[in-house]
């Protein structure tokens, strides 16, 4: 009875479904509260449903400020990470030098360290150097872990790309820039896109490092934390939460699909 091996017992099925529901029902709950008519507390079931909070959120300038700041920080931190992460990955995978393994470890370290350590360390460093807290200090804070994501994606792709491709390009008359544009970039593009999207998603919902490196500005997640304390127009927070879920979930989904098919393009000539 071979087919029986693939059929789980009903108890296991229920447990699995229960686990998934436990993970995802709370998110649906957040969505539901975005439409509630009760604005001071979260009451279940919602006494009534309305779309007015979308309008209210649209009218609130603080929502827009937080959203633009988050988008700016995410975009610039990702851009920095794309440049630095690609360069570091190229150096580590394309050449041999003293301390290569150590550098590889040091690049990855910020994502392994608890955010609070990174946050405190950066805050002390900014204070010592007399750098005022601004959008740029938040960007620097986010770039520390965004670089790691890009680096990891790029390094994996570089390792699968045959080194003779670059030599072949030189051999056929292409200089360094042409080789980068026509050979290296197309081969690592999907890895960079995936890494960049993950980096953006990480930056977009980051709280801890932002708390330590930000001044008066609030990124979207920080704004939400503050908003939860205020017992007025609470469903606006839920509306914004829905936007955050979509803004982070879609890039991650896209990144997953982009890297899944990546194997076929980087194999080299063999």
Partner 1 sequence: MTPAVEFIHTSRHFGAVRAVDDVNLAVKPGEFFAMLGPSGSGKTTCLRLIAGFEQPTGGEIKIFGEPAGGVPPYRRNVNTVFQDYALFPHMSILDNVAYGLMVKGVDRQTRYREAEKALELVKLPGYGSRKPGQLSGGQRQRVALARALVNKPRVLLLDEPLGALDLKLREQMQEELKTLQRSLGITFIFVTHDQGEALSMADRVAVFNNGKIVQAGTPEEIYKRPQSRFVADFVGSSNVISPEAMQRMGGKAEWASLRPEAIRLVAEGGVPAQTLVSNFLGSTTRLSVEAEGVRLHVMLPAGERVPEPGETVRLGWNPADVHYMDGAA
Binders of partner 1 among residues 72 to 111 (CB under 8 A) are: none
Q: How far is the CB of 49 from partner 1 (least distance, A)?
A: 51
**One residue of 70, 137, 187, 210 binding partner 1 per CB under 8 A:** 187
The verdict on whether omega for the bond into residue 45 sits within 30 degrees of 0, i.e. cis, is yes
**One residue of 90, 108, 174, 193 binding partner 1 per CB under 8 A:** 174
**One residue of 164, 225, 230, 246 binding partner 1 per CB under 8 A:** 164
The stretch near partner 1 (CB under 8 A) out of 61-69, 74-82, 105-113, 175-183 is: 175-183
**One residue of 44, 58, 170, 249 binding partner 1 per CB under 8 A:** 170
58 contributes a contact to partner 1 by CB under 8 A? no
The three-state secondary structure class of 36 is strand
Question: What is the H or E stretch that residue 248 is in?
Answer: helix 234-260
- Let me know: does 91 contact 158? Beta carbons within 8 Å: no
19 contributes a contact to partner 1 by CB under 8 A? no
Q: Which is nearer to partner 1, 26 or 268 (CB)?
A: 268
DSSP structural state of residue 43: -
DSSP structural state of residue 49: B
The stretch near partner 1 (CB under 8 A) out of 127-135, 144-152, 165-173, 196-204 is: 165-173
Q: What's the distance, Cα to Cα, between the start and end of the chain in Å?
A: 43
Please list, in sequence order, all residues whose beta carbon lies within 8 angstroms of the beta carbon of residue 156, skipping any fewer than 6 positions away.
191
Q: How far is the CB of 180 from partner 1 (least distance, A)?
A: 12
User: Which of 230, 221, 250, 246 lies closest to 67 in space, CA to CA?
Assistant: 221
- 49 forms beta bridges with 36
Q: Which is nearer to partner 1, 26 or 186 (CB)?
A: 186
159 contributes a contact to partner 1 by CB under 8 A? no
**One residue of 143, 224, 258, 266 binding partner 1 per CB under 8 A:** 266
Q: Please classify residue 246 by burial: count the beta carbons closer than 10 Å to its beta carbon, then call 0-12 exposed, 13-18 middle and 19+ buried.
A: exposed
18 contributes a contact to partner 1 by CB under 8 A? no
156 contributes a contact to partner 1 by CB under 8 A? no
Q: Which is nearer to partner 1, 106 or 172 (CB)?
A: 172
- CA dist., res. 162 & res. 191, Å (int): 16
Q: Which is nearer to partner 1, 147 or 184 (CB)?
A: 184
Please list, in sequence order, all residues whose beta carbon lies within 8 angstroms of the beta carbon of residue 125, skipping any fewer than 6 positions away.
none
Phi-psi sector, 48: left (phi>0), alpha (psi -120 to 50), beta: beta
By the criterion CB under 8 A, which residues form the site for partner 1? Answer: 162, 164-165, 167-175, 178, 182-183, 186-187, 264-270
């Amino acid at each position: 009875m071979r087919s029986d091996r693939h059929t789980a017992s009903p108890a296991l099925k229920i447990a699995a479904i229960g686990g998934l529901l436990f993970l995802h029902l709370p998110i649906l709950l957040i969505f539901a509260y975005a439409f509630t008519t009760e604005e001071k507390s979260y009451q279940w079931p919602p006494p009534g449903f309305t779309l007015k909070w979308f309008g209210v959120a649209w009218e609130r300038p603080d929502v827009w400020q937080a959203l633009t700041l988050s988008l700016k920080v995410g975009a610039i931190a990702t851009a920095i990470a794309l440049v630095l992460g690609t360069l570091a990955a190229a150096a580590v995978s394309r050449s041999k030098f003293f301390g290569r393994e150590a550098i590889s470890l040091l690049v990855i370290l910020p994502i392994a360290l608890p955010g609070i350590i990174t946050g405190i360390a950066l805050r002390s460093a900014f204070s010592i150097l007399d750098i005022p807290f601004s959008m740029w200090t938040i960007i620097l804070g986010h770039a520390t872990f965004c670089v790691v994501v890009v680096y990891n994606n790029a390094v994996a792709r570089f390792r699968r790309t045959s080194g003779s491709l670059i030599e072949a390009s030189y051999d056929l008359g292409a200089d360094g820039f042409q080789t980068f544009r026509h050979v290296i970039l197309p081969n690592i593009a999907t890895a960079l896109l995936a890494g960049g999207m993950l980096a953006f998603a990480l930056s977009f919902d980051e709280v801890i490092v932002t708390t330590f490196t930000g001044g008066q500005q609030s990124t979207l997640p920080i704004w939400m934390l503050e908003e939860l304390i205020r017992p007025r127009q609470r469903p606006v927070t839920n509306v914004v939460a829905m936007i955050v879920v979509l803004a982070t979930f879609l890039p991650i989904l896209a990144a997953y699909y982009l890297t899944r098919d990546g194997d076929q393009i980087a194999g080299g000539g063999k």
